[in-house]
Amino acid sequence: MKSNLQLDARGRLRHLLSLDGLSSDLIIDILDTAEQHDKLLAGPEKKLGTLSGRTVINLFFEPSTRTRTTFELAAKRLSADVLNLQVAASSTSKGETLFDTLKTLEAMQADMFVIRHESSGAAHFFAEHAAPGVAILNAGDGRHAHPTQGLLDLFTIRRYKSLPGEATRDCFSRLSVAIVGDVLHSRVARSGIHGLRILGCQDIRVVAPPTLVPVGIKEMGVSVHHDLEAGLDGVDVVMLLRLQKERMLGAFLPSLGEFHRDYGLTRARLAKLKPEAIVMHPGPINRGVEIEGDVAYGPRSLILQQVSHGIAIRMAVMSLILGRDNGERR
C-alpha cells in the first residue's frame, strides 16, 4: 500500500488521499487543530493569515456544491487564493488527459489541488504525478475515499460523545457505531470505517441489504447486519449514507419505498435507540428514503453541525499540509 505517498520523510502529512494508513496520533492532531479553527469560526473575526499568498485550486470532475463550497470557504478563511474549476468529463475526453490537466494547472503555480473525480484512485494518481511541493487533497474519488468527510464525522462524534477530560482513543473504544445504507458505492462509508478503526472503535456495524454490501467488507474490521433493528440495537452513533435514486436500475433494490420501510431512519425507530444516541448524514439527504424529514432536523440529528465542522476540518488539513512552512518561517 502506497499510503506513505501521503506522508513525508518525517511522517507529516504531505497529501491527504485516504485515512487508510494514517496513524491515530496524526488523526487526533488533525481533530485537535480543527477544534482551534472551530473556536475561531465561532468568533467575529473568522480569518487567519496561515495560507496567505498560497494558491488552492478546487478541481472537481464531478458536480458538487456543498463539498466544493466548504473547501472554498476553508481556503479563503486561511487567506489562500482560491480557484474553482468544474471540469466536465467531456472536456477531458476531447484529448487532454488528466495528466495534461494537472501539469497545465501546476504551471500556474498552484500549491494545492483539491480533487474530486469519479474514478477510484484518482487522488493517488494525481499525488504520484504532482510536482514536489504540490499537495493533493482528496475530496472524493469514486467509491474509494472521502477522507475529509471521514475526519469531520470523527470530529463530530468526538465532540458530542466524549466525556469531560476523556482521551480521544478512550472515547472511540467504548462506542458502537452503525453505518446504514448504500455501503457498496460509498466512499464516505469506507473513510468512516478506516477512521473509526484507527481511533480504536471496536464495534463498527454495516447495515444494508446484501446487494449494497461489498464482498470482503468484514476484513475492514466491521460486522455486517441486514436487519436494521438488530443493527441499531444499543448503538451510540448512527451514520446514514445517501442512497442514489437510480439504484433501482441495477436491480440493487426493488423500490425506494421498500428501502425506506426496511432501512429508513424513522421517528419510530429513533425512539428505540439509546436516548443519547446521535444521528449523522453526509448530505444531501433524501427525505423519505434513508431518513425521515422530522428526524433529519430533530434534536438527535447533527447533520447541520457536520456541515460547519467540515469547514474547520478542511482548514485544519490545509493548514497542516501547507501552513507548516509558513509557520516555521515565522
C-beta of 37 vs 194, nearer to other proteins: 194
Residue 139, φ and ψ in degrees, nearest 5: -105, 25
CB of 181: closest distance to other proteins in angstroms? 16
How far apart are alpha carbons 48 and 117 in whole angstroms?
A: 29
| DSSP-derived secondary structure letter, 118 | S
Residue 265 C-alpha cell reads as 431512519
Q: CA dist 53 to 75, 103, 264, Å?
A: 11, 21, 47
Nearer to other proteins, 219 or 328 (CB): 219
Nearest approach in angstroms of CB 156 to other proteins is 23
Choose between 68 and 190: whose C-beta lies nearer to other proteins. 190
Residues marked as binding for L-aspartate?
94, 187, 242
Instruction: Name the minimum Å distance from CB 220 to other proteins.
Output: 6
Minimum distance of other proteins from residue 318's CB (angstroms): 23
Residue 187 CB, shortest distance to other proteins, in Å, is: 6
User: Rounded CA gap, 318 and 26, in Å?
Assistant: 14
CB of 102 to other proteins, least distance (A): 10
Cβ distance 155 to 31 under 8 Å? yes
**Amino acid, res. 109:** Q
Binding-site positions read 66-67, 94, 116, 146, 149, 187, 242, 283-284
Residue with cell 426493488: 254
Q: What per-residue string of b and e applies to 162-198 under the rule 16 or more CB within 10 Å gives b?
A: beeeeebeebbeebbbbbbbbbbbbbbbbbbbbbbbb
Going by their DSSP bridges, the two strands 203-207 and 223-225 should be labelled as: parallel
Which lies closer to other proteins via its Cβ, residue 121 or residue 209? 121
Question: Which CB sits closer to other proteins, 68 or 117?
Answer: 117
**Three-state SS for 18?**
coil
Q: Which is nearer to other proteins, 108 or 215 (CB)?
A: 215
CA distances from 213 to 120, 202, 236, 313, 321 (A): 17, 20, 22, 28, 34
User: Dihedral (C-alpha) 63, 115, 207, 228: value to the nearest 10 degrees?
Assistant: -40
Task: Work out how close the CB of 179 gets to other proteins at its nearest, in angstroms, rounded to a whole number.
Answer: 14
Q: Which residues bind other proteins (CB under 8 A)?
A: 1-3, 5, 20, 97-99, 117, 119-122, 124-125, 129, 141-145, 187, 190, 214-217, 219-220
Q: Which is nearer to other proteins, 120 or 308 (CB)?
A: 120
Place of cell 428526524: 295
Distance, CA of 17 to CA of 50 (rounded, Å):
22
Residue list, annotated binding site for carbamoyl phosphate: 66-67, 116, 146, 149, 283-284
Residues 6 or more apart in contact with residue 164 via CB below 8 angstroms: none
